[in-house]
Amino acid sequence: MEYTFRIKRYDPDVDVKPYFKEYRVDLEETDRVLDGLNAIKWDQDGSLTYRRSCAHGVCGSDAVRINGRNYLACKTLMKEFGKKITIEPLIGFTVVKDLVVDMEPFFDAYKSIKPYLIASEAPAGEERRQTPEQLERFENATKCILCAACTSSCPITWTNESFIGPAAIVNAGRFIYDSRDEGAAERLRVLNMKSGVWRCRTVFNCTEACPRDIEVTNIIEDVKRTLLLEQV
């Protein structure tokens, strides 16, 4: 079946501003959007630039905007769309080239919430105990692959560069609600700042954009409640 890919292109070496270029590609409806990008790059235009690696939705490389919504190109099949699809880089990020955006601010926000277990000495020769119920409290957040689909879908991040963004909040929640962690206060201090959770307007875009079915908005609301009630 022939599909038309309309792709936003920009190469800072030669282009003054971004432009759209169309490609016709022969694909099955069960092919991934990534298969379409590959077919263009490999058979028509090697200069088309995008990130990709695992090709099955676990590494987080290929989040892009397809027909105005964020998806992983490798976890979305052609049958989800019509014969013509428009692909753009994630918005709210600086474009490096074509569909590749600058991820550094995203990872800086992630790092700011101290995304690692903060805990006193572990018992020697055995694991810390944690019940299945205690695991369930934060397990949903552990699925995050740092693809930035949520953060880029959030309208607050489009205009407010200092907003920490949903992905960083999810990863803070992953530790705040982990029964083994003792760093909640440090993280909550970051999330309580002007750039933190209170910027969130509960638009739910992030939850819809998440390719890992993480209940992003609920986790953000959890964190807000924790800040208000001052207890985890």
Partner 1 sequence: MAYHKFDTVIVGAGGAGLMAAIQMAGKANIAVVSKLYPPRSHTGAAQGGISAALGNVEEDHWQWHMFDTVKGGDYLTDQNAAEVLTRDAIDAVLELEHMGLPFNRTPDGRIDQRRFGGHTRNFGEGPVKRACYAADRTGHMILQTLYQQGIKHNVNFLNEFHVLDLLFSDDGRACGVVALELRTGEIHTIHAKSVLWATGGFGRVFSVTSNAMAGTGDGFAIPFRRGVPLMDMEFYQFHPTGIYKFGILLSEAARGEGGILLNGEGEAFAARYAPTLKDLAPRDMVSRFIYQEIKEGRGVNGKDYVYLDVSHLPDEVIDAKLPDITDFARTYLGIEPKREPMPIQPTAHYAMGGLPTDLNGRVLSNAAGDTFPGLYSAGENACVSVHGANRLGTNSLVDLVVFGRRAGRDMLDYVKHADLPPLPSDPDFYARAQVSDLLSRSKGERVADLRRELQVMMMDKASVVRTAESLTAASNEIRHLRDRYARVGIDDHGTTFNTDLTEALEFGAMLECAETLVTGALAREESRGAHFRDDFQARDDANWLKHTVLKKTSGGLELTKRDVSITEFQPKERKY
Binding site for partner 1 (CB under 8 A): 11-14, 30, 32, 41-43, 45-47, 49-61, 75, 77, 96-97, 100, 103, 107, 111, 114-117, 119, 122, 125-132, 134-135, 138-139, 142-146, 175, 178, 180-181, 213
| Minimum distance of partner 1 from residue 163's CB (angstroms) | 21
Residue 128, φ and ψ in degrees, nearest 5: -70, 140
State the minimum distance, in angstroms, from the CB of residue 214 to partner 1.
Answer: 12
**Min dist. Cβ of residue 77 to partner 1 (A):** 7
Task: Give the residue from 74, 81, 93 showing the smallest Cα distance to 33.
Answer: 74
Using the minimum distance from each CB to partner 1, give the nearer residue, 81 or 107.
107
φ, ψ for residue 158, nearest 5 deg: -70, -30
| CA atoms of 63 and 191, how far apart (whole Å) | 25
- List Cβ neighbours of 6 (8 Å cut-off, separation of 6 or more): 20, 21, 22, 84, 85, 86, 87
Q: What single-letter amino acid sits at 36?
A: G
The residues facing 192 across adjacent strands are none
Q: Which is nearer to partner 1, 138 or 163 (CB)?
A: 138
CB-based contacts of 161, cutoff 8 Å, min separation 6: 105
- Which lies closer to partner 1 via its Cβ, residue 116 or residue 198? 116
The region that residue 64 occupies, defined by phi over 0 for left and psi between -120 and 50 for alpha, beta otherwise, is beta
- Name the residue nearer to partner 1 (CB basis): 98 or 220: 98
CB of 58 to partner 1, least distance (A): 5
Please state the closest distance from residue 223 (CB atom) to partner 1, in A: 18
In the complex with partner 1, which residue's Cβ is closer, 137 or 199?
137
